[in-house]
Amino acid sequence: MADPVTDAANTISTKLETGFLNPVSNDDIKSAVGQITNLPAAEANQLIDRLESSGQLDQIADEINDGSWFGNGGLSADERRAFFTDMAGKLSGENLAALSESFSRTDGGGGEFGAVTDLSKEIATHASPQTRVDYIAAMKPQVDGESYTDTYFGGAVNHDTDAQAAAVGNVLGSLRGSYAEAGFNAIGDRLPHVLTTATDGELRTGMGGHATTTWDAQGYRDIMDAAASMGDADLKARVFDAGVDTLRSVRDTNSVIGGLTVMGKDDALRTMTDGLTAVINSDTTGVMTELTYNRETSDGSDFAAYAKEMLNQDRGAELGQQMARLQLGNDENGDPIQRLNETITVPGTDQERRPNAGALGYFVGATYAATASITKDVAAQRAMATSVLDSALAIVDKAARKNPIAGAVASVAKEWTHYAINQAISDPTADAATQLENAALPVNSQTGELGVGDDVLSAFEDTLASVQRRARP
């Protein structure tokens, strides 16, 4: 009985036979590719396994990409894309990674058509979500953070881009929900390489040694949108941590007169900050709690760096919305006093923690650290803090007016929070640190006394003091 996989493998071997006067022709490589695409998924996977084992998968990739002057093979960009589309819909994640690796050997990370990243775009569009996750896991060993350089007469372009990392980023950014969680877990500690590559940094050096650097951070934003879709707040916080590290590398690249010109930095930073904001806003209380208590981020430096960029972009109002959620809950309608006094048992112990109070202190400390990092001018710091508090006040005011009869205790707590923010804004003697701290906790509008007990105050002040002392935006 005929075996279609064996028949296809034998035909491909014949088509790939070469000699000095017998090069692989365009018809030969089209026929070889057709042997693969004509098979159904299960048999196509078997064939790719055989071709990889024999080394012929590398030869097929090389011939498909053959753009040399003597090349008789080679597929057009459209023909190659059609092949990639077909493979993305049929092959397993492991075999797609093997195909990618074969193409990576032909173009060294770049190439005329960028085969590795072109394949990944088809995988992101046509492969099933589970296949995409499997592809990311199989690609992880290939992600090494290498860059590549294109040279031309009179200059060169260094791409801060690892083709395999770019490919993983394209696919990771296409996942949502539980599949996104699986994708981030699959790439693990290689995520920083993926995020750096996703900013698409280029350093162009011309005659005379002058250099120009640029970025395109849309791929980074896509990855952050994938993270925002997840349900795991701890994993979101860890992605946020890696994302801020990447943002810093762009932020801290500056023009040097006569040596380096930086172009498109503001646009890249805004795109990156949009992505980080999407992660925070997807579960503000959950992500901020994880940032507060995860050892890697507990010093507040990451959130302070993010807040600094938000304030530099005049986005204090969005920070104010986040502060209001920490006071009222993600639905912006909870009881602030009750929320701040909520306790959990610290995992592995019998001790209590008040995470909502701690996260609010973390936010206040990091936001003040951001203002202090931007300027030493007290009035300017105060103006930034006021932009945050004006927004928080508007949200708390709206919450206080919502359903005032249904829940008198909650209404009083919101009124006290509104009072605290309003008094902090109105105090002409308060600096930014004092403003933010005084606005955080509810204050009895009749007596002027703090509206929370010692346990809440201690949890709030402990993280506030720790972050103010340690944060380095």
User: And the tokens for 425?
Assistant: 């804004």
Q: What's the rounded Cα separation, in Å, for the pair 184 and 230?
A: 10
What is residue 404's predicted lDDT score, i.e. its pLDDT?
56
What is residue 67's predicted lDDT score, i.e. its pLDDT?
56
What is residue 72's predicted lDDT score, i.e. its pLDDT?
59
Q: Which long-range contacts (CB under 8 A, 24 or more apart) does 328-335 make?
A: 328/395, 328/396, 328/399, 328/414, 328/417, 329/285, 330/283, 330/284, 330/285, 330/286, 332/395, 332/398, 332/399, 333/399, 333/402, 333/403, 334/410, 335/407, 335/409, 335/410, 335/413, 335/414
Residues of the chain with pLDDT under 50: 20, 68-71, 109, 111-113, 405-407
What is residue 160's predicted lDDT score, i.e. its pLDDT?
65
Yes or no: say if 221 and 269 are a contact pair by the CB < 8 Å rule.
no
List the one residue out of 282, 283, 318, 280 whose CA is nearest residue 302: 280
User: And the tokens for 308?
Assistant: 């600094």
Yes or no: say if 354 and 341 are a contact pair by the CB < 8 Å rule.
yes
DSSP strand pairing (344-345 vs 202-205): unpaired
What is residue 109's predicted lDDT score, i.e. its pLDDT?
44
Q: What's the rounded Cα separation, in Å, for the pair 342 and 344?
A: 7
What is residue 148's predicted lDDT score, i.e. its pLDDT?
64
What is residue 406's predicted lDDT score, i.e. its pLDDT?
44
What is residue 233's predicted lDDT score, i.e. its pLDDT?
98
